[in-house]
Structure 1
Amino acid sequence: DAIFLIASPTKPLTALAIMMLVETGEVLPSDPVSRYLPDFAANGKSDVTIAHCLTHTSGLPDMVPENQELRRRQAPLTEFLEAVYRLELDFAPGTRVQYQSMGSLVLAEIIHQVFGMQLRDFLRVQIFQPLKMHDTSLGMSPFWESTFRGELHTRRSRIAEVNTTGLDQGDDWGWNSDYWLKLGVPWGGLLASADDWGKLCQHLLRVHVGEHGVVNPATLAAMTTNQLETMPEVPEADRRCQPWGYGWRLNSRNQADSFGDLLSPRAYGHWGATGTMVWIDPARDLFCVALTTQPYSGRRRPHAELSNIICSEIV
């Protein structure tokens, strides 16, 4: 019954939204970001493409330098975006892999400019409502303050608090604050129940076998294929050990500390800093949703153990 702060598995949902616009011909993965966000081109960023943002090869940092300052004063997302516009790249796009949350913020703004809808509303209308994911929202929805199924408590009361003991998390800006829960950051602000995530995973498994869903099978195949293979300047070690589709982290031996040792090479997923993990293995028609409130402490051994147990129990 609990609703969890999902953290980084939000990113594949942001990617799914942008790929829906790829399907309609409104954007191309090869398009420069500056085609839609002219201010982004400042300070040498004109060569960054949508594909770079989807595959963590953009050269953007994970967070803007002002991240904590912006959160402390409860800044809106527009100020985070303005900080991204001011950034210089850490490296030339398409030459390295570096995990970057800010790429998801950029993608969300492209959706806003092209479709005329904020990402939270796009996800609600285009994905969550069709899949009946009623306990899922990017940021706490105003509707969640109303009664739920005739009960007196609200969805807000069902949100499980993240254990922030020992972390630098302010009461008014940390993971459990109303500010953060309502902000709906495109890189980590999704709130969802395990049941809802299961609906999404089951839906994607059906798409893999040919059903047309929120995206078509060809689109999902592109999202779950190693897109680094198309980037010749990315080092071979990165392509092999840090493979990325469009938004999804792909299975490899380097991912065994979370995806475990028994998933097929076709498996993909994501994990989040708040202690969450999801993976989907279309070769075995299998998925896992693990939502906790215990942040990662550097190693993901419990999730690897869980993944192995699930795989060994399913024939």
Structure 2
Amino acid sequence: MTMQSLALTETWPVPTAASAVVLADGTVAGRHGPTDHRFPLASVTKPLAAYAVLVAYEEGAVELDEPAGPAGSTVRHLLAHTSGLAFDEHRVSAEPGTRRIYSNAGFEVLADHVAAATDIPFAEYLRQAVLEPLGMTATALEGAGSAAKDAVSTVDDLVRFAAEVQAPRLLDPRTVLDAMTVAWPGLAGLLPGYGRQTPNDWGLGFEIRDAKSPHWTGATSSPRTFGHFGQSGTFLWIDPDAAAACVALTDRAFGPWAVEAWPAFTDAVLHDLRAS
């Protein structure tokens, strides 16, 4: 398979970029750039953290519907950004389940909850539960970093993660299906960088594309596409209809350049996949 589309990253106004596509069967369809270079992930940390939380759920350390966070909130609310916690403050700004408030604070509370339940610091639990089993040796949530935004990784490692999500070995496939299914359908909210979306659909740790517009994925991305992007100029999407996932990491902060470049890049990748 020829993935000439990945070379489009060379046109991006960034110092360094790397990208790859991995198919649902685990085949790496293409790589481009320094795929072993470690980049700050920003919010692409969240799917990794969410996966660790789901491992804790399957191990029986936590339940998805047990209380966690503000009064009335649960682990599931925190994963789906419906706990009512504010974006970057440990302050309640809505009743749980009533608004989609994208919340870094919610993921930090979630990490603390899992750490307390397992008696393992969350960064170490993430390493043991997800990173080590998948061979993601270049990935880490270092020190006392936020489980919402402070991991570092490489394209090569995130390819391993994207392959896992498409064909789960660490989790029951039914759990992953739950994670990529809309939780609390119909809730409106702000999608960072893209404004208010109605609805602003989210699964458990993964954003779901649906019919959002504007959006960081492509015009030809299926509504079932799910994933995450980060303010450090990073993204990972999985399109079940295309049976493929794409990772792109850069070292330039998200901004107008990404709003312009990313959708065209994704459409080119999907075109290459369809043409193969």
Which TM-score tier does this pair reach, normalised by the shorter chain? 0.7 to 0.9
The answer for the alignment partner of 1:116 in structure 2 is 119
Is residue 227 of structure 1 aligned with residue 186 of structure 2? no
Distance 1:134 1:255, change over 3 A: farther
- Equivalent residue runs for 1:303-314 within 5 Å: 303-314=262-273
Is residue 202 of structure 1 aligned with residue 163 of structure 2? yes
Q: CA deviation at 1:240?
A: 5.5
- Equivalent residue runs for 1:140-289 within 5 Å: 182-207=143-168, 213-229=169-185, 234=187, 241-254=199-212, 256-289=214-247
Q: Which has the higher strand share?
A: 2
Q: What TM-score results when the alignment is normalised by the length of structure 1? A: 0.69
Q: Which amino acid aligns with 2:153?
A: A
Q: Does the 8 Å CA contact 2:210/2:222 hold for their aligned counterparts?
A: no
Q: CA deviation at 1:235?
A: 5.6
Is residue 295 of structure 1 aligned with residue 253 of structure 2? yes
**Percentage of matched positions with identical amino acids:** 28
The answer for the alignment partner of 1:23 in structure 2 is 58
The answer for the alignment partner of 1:149 in structure 2 is none
Moved over 3 A (4+): 234-240
Work out the CA distance in 1 between the residues paired with 2:88 and 2:236: 23
Question: Structure 1: which 5+ residue stretches go unaligned?
Answer: 34-39, 65-83, 140-181, 208-212
Q: CA deviation at 1:265?
A: 2.4
Q: What TM-score results when the alignment is normalised by the length of structure 2? A: 0.79
Match of 1:101 among 94, 100, 104: 104
Q: Which amino acid aligns with 1:101?
A: N
Bigger Cα displacement from structure 2, 193-202 vs 294-303: 294-303
Question: Structure 2: which 5+ residue stretches go unaligned?
Answer: 1-35, 191-195
The answer for the alignment partner of 2:95 in structure 1 is 92
Q: Which has the higher helix share?
A: 1
The answer for the alignment partner of 1:136 in structure 2 is 139
The answer for the alignment partner of 1:80 in structure 2 is none
CA RMSD of aligned residues (A): 2.1
